[in-house]
Chains A and B, each alone.
Chain A
Amino acid sequence: MIVRAAVCPSPPLLARDLTGRVDVLPEMREACARAVSRLLAASPEVVVITGAGPATASWDPDGRLDLSRYAPALRTHGKPGLPLSLGLGAMLLDMVGHTGPRRLQAVGEGAPASECVQLGASLAGIAPRVALLAVGDGSARRSSAAPGHLDSRAAAFDASVERALHDGDMAALVSLDRELARDLLATGRASWQVLAGALANGDAPDVPRGGATVPVGEILYADAPFGVGYLVAVLEPERIS
């Protein structure tokens, strides 16, 4: 079952080398490092990284992000085709010194909620102590300078995700509108629904809510400095007494 879970964003600039000579958003990278450190502090037997990819698929756990796709001059090659979210998750684990078992699990970016929840539930069951890192972003339409320009619905969408993570409201994550998320260029939707499925697994099978555990969330970072919603959070599955 899940012993602890974390949420991190997936902008390429999370990789320090990609931003050039000046560090960009070090506070966000530090928040990610804190979140991932907290995962490891829960003594998991395996860390599962999940994030959106072209298709639901498991990747070689030794895979690393191919930075040269983003910055050819760096000549830092990695696993061809490894989804950005998984590559950045792997980088975060490396950053905090994790050398134990890991699993890189892509979830199809268009997968419906039911599939995501099911995947989460199965991931929670791969070992007695599983830590889950869900990597993905809020809307990329948070401002007129955003990659996807401004969409007036973006801020409310991201706020609803932040609230759900904070409150441990897995049902709210499961009910996120897939079409809306796609319109808002929110790459995190599928991974958050995997997270919901994993945390709802608990001792009772009646996902998404009402099992023997209820997650308690803590937000470590929430901002959209470049018009893309970035969220860093840690979730503890607290047993209901």
Chain B
Amino acid sequence: MSGKAGTREPGPLVLHGRSFPPGRPLVMAIVNRTPDSFYRPGLTWDVQAALDRVRQVVGEGADILDIGGVPAKPGGEVTAAEEIRRVVPFIGTVRAAYPDLVISVDTWRHEVGRAACEAGADLLNDSWGGWDPELAGVAAEYDVGLVCSHAGGLPPRTRPFRVSYQDVMAEVLGHVLGLAERAVRAGVEPARIVIDPAHDFGKNSWHSLEITRRLGEMTATGWPVLLSASHKDFIGETLGAGIEDRLSGSLAVTAVAAWLGARIFRAHNVTETRQALDVVAALRGDLFPTRAVRGLA
């Protein structure tokens, strides 16, 4: 920690014993162990389908796997025990099959986080803004990463209802930097902390567009920024597009966020996201073209 309160020097993100420097964007592939997530519900509810998906996204160049057992939207209760049943054995299977892969678990509950870490998870992706204050302690205990996000104070699995902010980005920054500080105090290694504005969580579409436009304010804090925008409603509302027609919009948001310095990109479409990120990296000068011949022959 250095500089103004809550910021850090930009530096490597350390997960699973590996060090990821700034300038190397990471793709976090989504694998839902749910029957009812918003995008293609039930696609990987079946264990074999989920393992096939893992093999596919690893082959497509995913750096991180994000495994979730509870959809964000309201619905039938998923207890901690049920969530553990959905994700933890699966994490164990993936860990055994892919010893080098960075595995994230999408959960807000410390019980689930603990069981996931026992099974080999490397990152606790808390999309619900630190609802369970004991989760950071689990990250510290197991020396794994923690995502500090902003959900506008909403309880997990609730939708925003007439939310408003004087300044949404200021609110997001205040909250996630506070969580990051709390995590450091709890013993989480700063190099393992990620911040996430959490598009759509506790936000209407205007808010999500605003935090994207101003994402540079988040990246300027020095903490690695996670973008989790793939196929979300703010893209659908922006385009007037249904759930299946949001890939182009997702890639546009990805490109802008990458340009503004986000470092982790949670995505359903790994190949397309990787390609978009590679183009932005080349635009930024972080990556040279694969093969440049045009005009040079």
Q: Are A70 and B289 in contact (CB under 8 A)?
A: no
With the chains together, A241 CA to B295 CA distance in Å? Answer: 47
With the chains together, A138 CA to B290 CA distance in Å? Answer: 27
Majority secondary structure, B binding face: loop
Q: Which of B248-297 contact A (CB under 8 A)?
A: 285, 287-293, 295-297
With the chains together, A8 CA to B43 CA distance in Å? Answer: 58
Q: Are A13 and B290 in contact (CB under 8 A)?
A: no
Q: Are B290 and A226 in contact (CB under 8 A)?
A: no
Tell me which of B285, B287, B292 contacts A19 (CB under 8 A). B292
A112 at the A/B interface (Cβ < 8 Å)? no
Total interface residues on A, CB under 8 Å, equals 19
Which B residues lie within 8 Å of A240 (CB)? none
Name the residue on B nearest A24 (C-beta).
B293
Total interface residues on B, CB under 8 Å, equals 11
Tell me which of B285, B291, B295, B297 contacts A20 (CB under 8 A). B291
Which B residues lie within 8 Å of A228 (CB)? 297
Q: How many pairs of A and B residues are in contact by the CB < 8 Å rule?
A: 42
Q: Are A19 and B295 in contact (CB under 8 A)?
A: no
User: Separation in Å of the B280 CB from the closest CB of chain A?
Assistant: 13
With the chains together, A4 CA to B84 CA distance in Å? Answer: 77
Q: Are B291 and A226 in contact (CB under 8 A)?
A: no
Which A residues lie within 8 Å of B297 (CB)? 11, 13, 140, 146-147, 225-228
Which A residues lie within 8 Å of B292 (CB)? 13, 18-20, 24, 71
Name the residue on B nearest A71 (C-beta).
B292
Q: Which of B288, B289, B293, B297 lies at the interface centre, i.e. has the most chain A CB atoms within 10 A of its CB?
A: B297
Q: Are B291 and A24 in contact (CB under 8 A)?
A: yes
Name the residue on B nearest A20 (C-beta).
B289
Q: Are B285 and A73 in contact (CB under 8 A)?
A: yes
With the chains together, A12 CA to B285 CA distance in Å? Answer: 20
With the chains together, A147 CA to B297 CA distance in Å? Answer: 8
Tell me which of A13, A71, A140 contacts B293 (CB under 8 A). A13
Which B residues lie within 8 Å of A11 (CB)? 296-297
Name the residue on A nearest B297 (C-beta).
A226
Q: Are B293 and A73 in contact (CB under 8 A)?
A: no
Which A residues lie within 8 Å of B293 (CB)? 13, 19, 24, 226
Q: Are A13 and B288 in contact (CB under 8 A)?
A: no
Which B residues lie within 8 Å of A71 (CB)? 292
Which residues of A line the B interface, CB within 8 A?
Answer: 11-13, 18-22, 24, 70-71, 73, 140, 146-147, 225-228
Question: Can you spell out 25 A-B residue pairs with CB atoms less than 8 angstroms apart?
Answer: A11-B296, A11-B297, A12-B295, A12-B296, A13-B293, A13-B297, A18-B292, A19-B293, A19-B296, A20-B288, A20-B289, A20-B291, A20-B292, A21-B287, A21-B288, A21-B291, A24-B292, A70-B296, A73-B285, A73-B288, A140-B297, A225-B297, A226-B297, A227-B297, A228-B297
- In the complex, besides A19-B293, A21-B288, A21-B291, 5 extra interface pairs with C-beta distance below 8 angstroms are A13-B292, A13-B293, A20-B290, A24-B291, A71-B292
Nearest 10 Cβ contacts at the A-B interface: A226-B297, A20-B289, A22-B291, A12-B296, A13-B296, A20-B292, A73-B285, A20-B288, A228-B297, A11-B297
